[in-house]
């Protein structure tokens, strides 16, 4: 399953800026990063700035291969949801990818698996690509509950998608204890979790779901990306802190090519 599938899964690397950079800073970054990754044509590259910078980033990256992602979305098409942003608004601003259920949103903003599922179904239904984030806390890992947590988050988060839809989506495995801590999962820990996630996808949706890319997030840096993405089940990276500098991010994109065919 994995050796066949891995050859077909193109590396996918996404920058998650979180709440960093003004619109002007975002455009400066866009102009800096494009020439740095121009020659890397065998990796899917995505940048997720804050909402405000999305239109300017989409403009600045329009002639590049870099896609623009939002860090969140509301599942409803419109309505009385103060402070929220719909898929139609995102699409109108050039967004084609949406990060859903990041652990910071789950932990700090009360997002649930049911909420993640509503957002994922709406996003995929509208023809955008979702990056659905899953991952266990340190407490859950130490209690040997990692696989149970991953199974639940994948099962409930992606419920209702068709096998064909799942095959084109992205799941990000982000162990909460590795995010922003400088302490990345070991390559073996990541590979084991990714294999488990892929098995859950296949048991839920059938063999074609093995094509879903499962990317790793949690303290990815230029110095550790090749070893992590070099694992057979790791198809790319979701990068927070180390994505804020264009040179560092471009080195991570380049380092993720080790699995490219």
Q: Rounded to an integer, what distance in angstroms lies between the CA atom of residue 142 and that of residue 87? A: 38
Min dist CB 259 to ligand PEP, Å, is 19
Number of residues that bind ligand PEP (CB under 6 A): 14
Tell the smallest beta-carbon distance from residue 229 to ligand PEP (Å): 14
User: Min. distance of Cβ 25 from ligand PEP in angstroms?
Assistant: 18
Please say which residue, 16 or 72, places its beta carbon nearer to ligand PEP: 16
User: Taking CB under 6 A as the rule, does residue 116 contact ligand PEP?
Assistant: no
Please return the burial class of 230, using the count of CB atoms within 10 Å of its CB with bins 0-12, 13-18 and 19+.
middle
Alpha-carbon torsion 188, 192, 195, 197, what sign? Answer: negative
Name the catalytic one among 74, 102, 194, 196: 102
CB of 8 to ligand PEP, least distance (A): 25
In terms of Cα–Cα distance, which of 187, 192, 176 is closest to 230?
187
Round to whole Å and give the CA distance between 112 and 109: 9
Binding test (CB under 6 A) with ligand PEP, winner from 72, 93, 129, 219: 219
- Does 135 contact ligand PEP by CB under 6 A? no
- Residues 232-251 contacting ligand PEP, CB under 6 A: 238-242
Minimum distance of ligand PEP from residue 207's CB (angstroms): 29
H-only helix segments in the chain: 2-8, 23-37, 54-60, 87-92, 103-108, 113-125, 138-142, 146-158, 163-167, 187-205, 225-229, 246-255
Structural contact between residues 10 and 260, judged by C-beta atoms closer than 8 angstroms: yes
Pick the stretch among 58-66, 74-82, 124-132, 212-220 that binds ligand PEP (CB under 6 A): 212-220
Nearest approach, Cβ of residue 60 and ligand PEP (Å): 22
Interface with ligand PEP, residue 218, by CB under 6 A: yes
The reply to whether 102 belongs to the active site is yes
Looking at beta carbons only, is 101 or 218 nearer to ligand PEP?
Answer: 218
Residue 92 or 180: the one with the smaller Cβ distance to ligand PEP is 180
Chain position whose Cβ is nearest to ligand PEP: 240
Spatial distance between the Cα atoms of 151 and 164, rounded to a whole number of angstroms: 20
Could you please report the per-residue DSSP string of 73-122?
--SSSSSS-TT---HHHHHHTT--EEEE--HHHHHHS---HHHHHHHHHH
Which is catalytic among the residues 174, 196, 233, 251?
174
CA distance 248 to 240: 11
Please report, as residue ranges, which positions from 18 to 47 form the binding site for ligand PEP (by CB under 6 A).
18
Which 163-202 positions form the footprint of ligand PEP (CB under 6 A)?
174, 179-180
Structural element, H or E, at residue 171: strand 170-173
Interface residue list for ligand PEP (CB under 6 A): 16, 18, 174, 179-180, 217-220, 238-242
Q: Which residues are catalytic?
A: 102, 174
């Amino acid at each position: 399953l994995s050796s066949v599938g891995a050859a077909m899964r193109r590396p996918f690397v996404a920058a998650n800026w979180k709440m960093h950079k003004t619109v002007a800073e975002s455009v400066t970054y866009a102009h800096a990063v494009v020439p740095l990754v121009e020659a890397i044509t065998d990796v899917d590259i995505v940048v997720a700035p804050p909402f405000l910078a999305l239109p300017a980033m989409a403009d600045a990256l329009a002639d590049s291969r870099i896609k623009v992602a939002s860090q969140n979305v509301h599942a409803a098409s419109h309505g009385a949801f103060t402070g929220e942003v719909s898929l139609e608004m995102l699409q109108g601003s050039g967004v084609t990818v949406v990060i859903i259920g990041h652990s910071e949103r789950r932990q700090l903003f009360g997002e649930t698996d049911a909420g993640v599922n509503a957002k994922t179904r709406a996003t995929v239904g509208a023809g955008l690509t979702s990056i659905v984030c899953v991952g266990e806390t340190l407490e859950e890992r130490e209690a040997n509950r990692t696989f149970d947590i991953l199974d639940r988050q994948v099962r409930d988060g992606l419920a209702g998608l068709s096998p064909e839809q799942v095959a084109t989506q992205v799941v990000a495995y982000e162990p909460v204890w590795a995010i922003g801590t400088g302490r990345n999962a070991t390559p073996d820990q990541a590979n084991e979790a990714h294999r488990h996630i892929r098995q859950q996808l296949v048991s839920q949706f059938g063999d074609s779901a093995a094509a879903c890319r499962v990317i790793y997030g949690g303290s990815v840096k230029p110095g550790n990306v090749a070893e992590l993405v070099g694992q057979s089940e790791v198809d790319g990276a979701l990068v927070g802190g180390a994505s804020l500098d264009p040179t560092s991010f471009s080195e991570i994109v380049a380092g993720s090519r080790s699995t490219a065919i």
